[in-house]
Structure 1
Amino acid sequence: MHFARRRGGPMLAVMTTTERLEPATGTTTADTGTAGTGRAAGVALMLGGGLSNQFGAATGALAFPVVGPAGVVAVRQWVAAVVLLVAGRPRLRSFTARQWWPVLGLAAVFATMNLSLYTAIDRIGLGLAVTLEFLGPLAVALLTSRRAVDLGCALAAGAAVVVLTRPQPSTDYAGIGLALLAAVCWGCYVLLNRTVGRRVPGAQGSAAAAGVSGLLYLPIGIAVLWQHPPTPAALGCAVAAGVLSSVVPFVADLFALRRVPANSFGVFMSVNPVLAAVVGLVVLGQRPGPLEWVAIGVIVAANAVAVLAGSRAARR
């Protein structure tokens, strides 16, 4: 593959841009006299959350040789379930069948997305897997738009994907396929999340879905950890990865959304593939080539332009 990698590559957080909790109020510091300070703090929070996300992935990589991707995913899902259930406090007994069906669909997407993504990361590296997965929400945004600028973004992103996945002797097609499956899951998450948001109040829907997904991973996790007993160090790395990739970004983004406009948040989150590639390079020794760096930059730019164009159209 184009990215030099190590077996047992890192994991990525289940919580993505579309999973962040919205702030309790629509008021931001832009409405006050402290907009500059508030936005600077918001940018710092987003940067810290993004870096924590990717360093959590690198930490999870240390546990891969012992428990494999499935073992780390299971622990990661359990940590995410506990965090979201505590934060969202879903009233499960009051859910109706109309509310449960999209929540269960969301849980299935969680489970499939993380296992496919983590396995892809193990095969093709952090930067490439995250970049390809990022195509999911970008595709949803572009397919639901009729603006000419979005057609240009789609063509640019498509060309970048061709560069990233071009056939070479070392190309891992299974890894690419798994990353694209994760992208499809993320796109489905965006669509399902809209339905859940309309039918279930607050963050209760996402919390319930995370809880169900955690339950789904109980037999998988128990079986994997039974066959591959984790060392204390490996288990600690898996738990730490869950904290770094779930708890820290969750809190950071919650406070950041109170300090920066939603469109600015979306644009900034576009840099996550770049952060993933940088962390993969520095921590894991995964080295994208010059063309790969350009392709990642093009996909990031396409998403940023699409977000900005969408926010401007909404204000008209």
Structure 2
Amino acid sequence: MRRALQRPAVAPPTVITPSPAKARRLTGVATMVGSGLSNQTGAAVGALAFPVLGPLGVVAVRQYVAALVLLAVGRPRLHGFTWRQWWPVLLLAGVFGTMNFTLYTAVDRIGLGLAVTLEFLGPLTVALAATRRRLDAGCAVVAAAGVVVLMRPRPSADYAGMAFGLVAACCWASYILLNRVVGRRIPGAQGVAAAATVSALAFLPVGVVLVLRHPPTAGAVLCAVTAGVLSSAVPYLADLLTLRHVPAQTFGLFMSVNPVLAALVGWVVLGQGLGAAEWAGIGAVVVANAVSLATKG
């Protein structure tokens, strides 16, 4: 009887799996990219509803969506808050609404990329003010030079829109500082959820007047709701997940790319092209923040 021919044993293919730490970093980076794109895409989609709802109407709908999401996540026990806890929550609610309104008004007047870049001066100022390094002083000068380029006098300059962008920057800086106070006094996400709820209640009259005077179209409402989901719900939940996988410094470093993402999304979705000078100004602000964060111990 013939012996069966034995085939040489073939080793199974080696499957290379990333280490748990590397996998977490990759997950964090992917989530940060998704969060940034979602935030800026939501703002662009909301801008599509400006002709019908106006910036104020879009912000009102966004506040409603944000309140519903944060209430579900934070589940604040409002009846148990003391006055020491309530007053920063009320201030945060006012800042929250004002920040979104001034940003969307700036987007309506000067475009998404420039508006987000000016708003980004808020957290950049907070970051630079917290240190006394010479490098940070140089970063502040670079950022200031970028702002001068963006706000340089020219026939088409909309200084009112730029002013709204700067007010949004002040609100974002105040939002960061108030969030720290609220976080120390109220556990979890209860404080932010309470602030979003108060802000949404303050915008209820806006929604009522809007519906009674200018009944919105279904398409405009859909755009506004989409803006609320993409710019409030998705980034908030994504950021919670991201901070579990990447250090806070890395998270802040990636946040500096948001003006670039906003400019790209504004160009693709809204057709808002920028010139070389505007891109240089945006780049200066982004580089200043990136260098400052990347060189901190």
TM over 0.5: yes
Partner of 1:229: 215
- Residue 41 of structure 1 aligns to a residue whose secondary structure is helix
Rounded Cα–Cα distance in structure 2 between residues aligned with 1:265 and 1:186: 17
Corresponding residue number in structure 2 for 1:180: 166
In the alignment, is the contact (CA less than 8 A) between 2:243 and 2:251 conserved in 1? Answer: yes
- Find the partner of 2:281 among 290, 295, 302: 295
With normalisation by structure 2, the TM-score equals 0.92
In the comparison of the two structures, how many residue pairs are matched? 280
Q: Write out per-residue CA displacement over residues 153-193 of structure 1, whole angstroms, 9 at most, x where no aligned residue.
A: 10000000000000100110100001100101111111111
Q: Identity over aligned residues, as a percent?
A: 66
Matches within 5 A, 1:32-43: 33-43=19-29
Mark the runs of 5 or more structure 2 residues left unpaired by the alignment. 1-17
1:118-166: per-residue Cα shift (whole Å, max 9, x none)? Answer: 1111000000000000001111121222111110110000000000000
Indicate whether 1:150 and 2:136 are aligned: yes
Q: Whole-Å Cα distance in 2 between the matches of residues 135 and 293 of structure 1?
A: 16
1:33 deviates by: 4.6
**Map of 1:200 onto structure 2:** 186
Deviations 1:34-55 (A, max 9, x none): 1111111111111011111111
Task: Write the letter of the residue equivalent to 1:251.
Answer: L
| 2:225 corresponds to 1:244 | no
Once the two structures are TM-superposed, the CA of residue 225 in structure 1 deviates from its matched residue by 2.8
- Is 1:70 the counterpart of 2:56? The answer is yes
Residues 275-294 of structure 1: CA distance to partner in whole angstroms, max 9, x if unpaired? 00000011111111111112
Q: Is the 8 A contact 2:47 2:107 kept in 1?
A: no
Other structure's SS at 2:216 match: coil
Instruction: Letter of the 1:264 partner, please give it.
Output: T
Please give the alpha-carbon distance, in whole angstroms, between the structure 2 residues aligned to 1:263 and 1:144: 14
CA RMSD of aligned residues (A): 1.2
Cross-structure match for 1:93 = 79
Q: Match for 1:209 among 195, 217, 221?
A: 195
Q: Distance in 2 between matches of 1:97 and 1:294?
A: 47
**Alignment of structure 1 residues 40-51 onto 2, 5 Å:** 40-51=26-37
Cα distance in structure 2, aligned partners of 1:220 and 1:159: 38
Q: Which range moves more in the overlay, 222-231 or 279-288?
A: 222-231
- String of CA shifts for 1:7-53, please: whole Å, max 9, x gaps: xxxxxxxxxxxxxxxxxxxxxxxxx9511111111111110111111
User: Gaps (5+ residues) in structure 1?
Assistant: 1-31
In 1, Cα distance between the equivalents of 2:264 and 2:220? Answer: 24
Q: Is the 8 A contact 1:54 1:276 kept in 2?
A: yes
- The 8 Å contact of residues 96 and 199 in structure 2, kept in 1 or not, is answered as yes
Q: Is the 8 A contact 2:95 2:174 kept in 1?
A: yes
Look up the equivalent residue of 1:119 and give its one-letter code: T
Whole-Å Cα distance in 2 between the matches of residues 257 and 225 of structure 1? Answer: 39
Residue 139 (structure 2) pairs with residue 139 (structure 1): no
Q: What amino acid is the match of 1:268?
A: F
Q: Which residue of 1 aligns with 2:249?
A: 263
Tell me the CA shift for residue 209 of structure 1. Answer: 0.5
> 1:53 and 1:140 mapped to 2: Cα distance?
21
TM-score by length of 1: 0.86
Deviations 1:194-214 (A, max 9, x none): 111111111111111011000
Q: Distance in 1 between matches of 2:168 and 2:89?
A: 18
Asked if the contact 1:79–1:242 (Cα under 8 Å) also holds between the matched residues in 2, the reply is: yes
> Conserved in 2, the CA contact under 8 Å of 1:70 and 1:224?
no
1:182 partner letter: A
Equivalent-residue separation in structure 2 for 1:169 and 1:33 (angstroms): 56
Q: Distance in 2 between matches of 1:222 and 1:253?
A: 32
Amino acid at match of 1:152: G
Runs of 4+, deviation exceeding 4 Å: none
Are residues 1:105 and 2:68 paired? Answer: no
The DSSP-based 3-state class of the residue aligned with 1:264 is helix
Q: How far apart, CA to CA, are the structure 2 residues paired with 1:87 and 1:233?
A: 28
Find the counterpart in structure 1 of residue 10 from structure 2.
Answer: none
